[in-house]
Structure 1
Amino acid sequence: MIKHLIPLTLIAVLAGCAGVQQSTERRTITHYGGMSIQKPAPVSMSSRNVESVVAPGSVRGTQLGIVYFDFDEYVVKPQYVPVLENVTRLLKDKPGMKVTLEGHTDAAGSTEYNLALGQRRAEAVRQGLARYGVSQAQAEAISFGEEKPALPGRSDEVDARNRRAEIWTTP
């Protein structure tokens, strides 16, 4: 049950909310993190719809998004720019709101290494939000390393789902 919670929450946010509109249209090339990328058209998500998706039994608040990372990497990929933009819009609409950015890793590597990598992933998302104007005071970056996997076990697919940073509202 728990292992399906995050994918189901993400699916509900991306597919089930009436305020979500996805587009494959491309806009101008933008510099992000020191590299040039094509930026997808903005994805619209109202605050009301984001707040309506709460993980059952969650004490963390509402999950606003997930950013996945490649093996041993902590660079936010261009495909996750819309996640940062959506969170930015919400935080600008609600300046008193705060988010917690949880960095996670797969089980490869030592506990110490994974805690440091998880922190770098959370900080990369924090810096990405800051580029869009989110105050550093609104976003706290923490690491869980390999301690809170999204999925149990080890396989390429499982490891890929565990290499992530989750964005949660702070209750």
Structure 2
Amino acid sequence: MKTWWIAMACVVALAGCATKVPLNEVPVETAEPDPMTQQQDDGAAAVDTAQPAATDLSPATTETVVDGAPLTNIIYFDYDSTMIRPEFQSVVAGHAQKALGNSSLRLVLEGHADEMGSREYNLALGQRRAESVRNSLTILGVPSSQIEAISFGEEKPAVLGASDDAYAKNRRVEVRYP
């Protein structure tokens, strides 16, 4: 029985390994989100208590506009992951388009992590996240000379606290234009 658990742990660990597949060649599945509320006959919304509350990690808008749409400067990541989530691939593409439109523009990618894990691990994880975004930008044609990837690890949280929501908002890369 113990061997089975070890084998499963290895499979899960290997499944999380990043690949060097270009973003435009990765198949993306879209799933319909489960509704968090249901409409009752009297018009009041009833909260579905069977599911935990979802953290809003949708791309936040900023003042930068690309192709007439606001562009966020934050890319969120899953726990202990460096893979860019499908909903943020268009954000990366928007920053690539902006950088390609101005060869003198510099991008600084600031990698962050939540407070779980050691400081050293989180510093390395933040760097890998920033490098993941950097690699995606270079695949999309942005010269690496325009991009700097740095890590703050867990040192600059976006949200203080030890909740799942706070942790989720701290696992991010922020795109800065100095």
TM-score (norm 1): 0.66
Contact 2:22 / 2:139 at 8 angstroms: preserved in 1? no
1:161 is aligned to 2:152: no
Deviation at 1:50, TM superposition (A): 1.0
The AA in structure 2 aligned to 1:35 is V
Deviation at 1:77, TM superposition (A): 1.1
1:92 is aligned to 2:83: no
- Alpha-carbon distance between aligned partners in 2 of 1:33 and 1:73, rounded to the nearest angstrom: 20
Q: RMSD over aligned Cα, in angstroms?
A: 2.2
Q: Where has structure 1 moved over 2 Å in runs of 4 or more?
A: none
- Alpha-carbon distance between aligned partners in 1 of 2:85 and 2:138, rounded to the nearest angstrom: 16
1:133 is aligned to 2:141: yes
Greater relative CO (CA pairs within 8 A, separation 6+): 1
Q: Which residue of 2 aligns with 1:50?
A: 64
Q: Secondary structure at the match of 2:64?
A: helix
Within the candidate set 18, 29, 36, 2:27 is matched to: 36
Deviation at 1:37, TM superposition (A): 2.0
TM-score (norm 2): 0.63
Structure 1: which 5+ runs fail to align?
1-29, 40-48, 52-62
Which protein shows a greater Rg? 2
Deviation at 1:78, TM superposition (A): 1.3
- Alpha-carbon distance between aligned partners in 2 of 1:38 and 1:108, rounded to the nearest angstrom: 29
- Alpha-carbon distance between aligned partners in 2 of 1:134 and 1:102, rounded to the nearest angstrom: 17
Q: How does 1:1-171 map to 2 (within 5 A)?
A: 32=23, 35-37=26-28, 49-50=63-64, 65-170=73-178
